[in-house]
Amino acid sequence: MPPRPDFRARGHAEFPAAVPPGALADLRAACDALLAEPADDGGDGTHRIGLGRARQFLAHRHEEFPAVERFLLGPEMAAVVEACLGTPGYLFNEQFVVKGAGSGASFAWHQDGAYVGFDHTPYLTVWIALDDATEENGCVYLLARDLDRQPGLEPHVWQEASNELNGYDGDAPGTPMTAAAGDVVAFSSLTLHRSGENRTPRPRRAYVCQYSAEPLLDPATGRPKRFAKPVGEAPASA
């Protein structure tokens, strides 16, 4: 199936209520179990992008939660990825992103591909709201991008004070991607996005999983970056 034209033209697509209630409960339970551990300023191994409890990344732990792994590789995610990439593809990365209650931590404008560190084919980020995401609690904001006309990465500058890359200095506020828990916002690794502060008394939980059309191989090692798990095939642990 070819990618959805609206995804190619805007760099993102919404999939309301794409996560079934049972899977949403599984994801929340996994997130809460990881949150109960001591805070770690985690990131992707190259960039340490956490900010303690204010902005927490709980990464690469899905194999400890078989129901989460089944969901990541299962039919709902396969449908989302196929709609955007034209193939169910491969899971290569996943992390919970939690903005702590009343956290002043936003997340700067960036393209996810800027964090990869080597040339690669653009991929898909599937952002899943585990709590209703609002402008008050730190939803994602996107700048629409025509993927065929604007195919590249912008220059990004590391921000020492806030532990993040910044890839956009313009004035556009972006489109707030408010979402109900269980909604999916899928966007290209080329799509500039940011997220706001959580000004509410409750944490804002999200799950970010990333899929590539082909395994994303690190040229330094010849091995997949993180994972290369085909979507639509039952995991070995199931």
Under the rule (CB under 6 A), what is the footprint of ligand AKG? 97, 107, 112, 138, 140, 193, 195, 206, 208
Non-local CB neighbours of 54 within 8 Å, separated by 6+ positions: 99, 100, 103, 104, 105
CB of 140 to ligand AKG, least distance (A): 5
User: Are the CB atoms for 201 and 166 separated by under 8 Å?
Assistant: no
Record the tokens describing residue 176, joined without a space: 């707030």
Residue with Cβ nearer ligand AKG (47 or 70): 47
CB of 149 to ligand AKG, least distance (A): 22
Residue with Cβ nearer ligand AKG (71 or 107): 107
Residue with Cβ nearer ligand AKG (23 or 97): 97
Residue with Cβ nearer ligand AKG (23 or 206): 206
* Cβ burial, residue 98 (10 Å; 0-12/13-18/19+): buried
CB of 236 to ligand AKG, least distance (A): 27
Q: What are phi and psi of 212, to 5 degrees?
A: -120, 155
CB of 233 to ligand AKG, least distance (A): 25
**Nearest CA to 94 among 107, 82, 112, 118?**
112
User: Are the CB atoms for 127 and 185 separated by under 8 Å?
Assistant: yes
Q: Is 75 left (phi over 0), alpha (psi -120 to 50) or beta?
A: alpha
**At 91, is the secondary structure helix, strand, or coil?**
strand
Q: Show the beta-strand stretches assigned E in the chain.
A: 12-15, 55-59, 90-99, 107-110, 124-129, 140-142, 157-159, 164-166, 175-176, 184-188, 193-195, 204-212, 217-218, 223-224, 229-230
Record the tokens describing residue 124, joined without a space: 């898909």
CB of 17 to ligand AKG, least distance (A): 19
The residue sitting closest to ligand AKG, measured at its beta carbon, is 195
Residue with Cβ nearer ligand AKG (97 or 231): 97
Give the Cα separation of 156 and 167 in Å (integer): 4
CB of 186 to ligand AKG, least distance (A): 12
Residue with Cβ nearer ligand AKG (83 or 114): 114
CB of 97 to ligand AKG, least distance (A): 4
Residue with Cβ nearer ligand AKG (7 or 57): 57
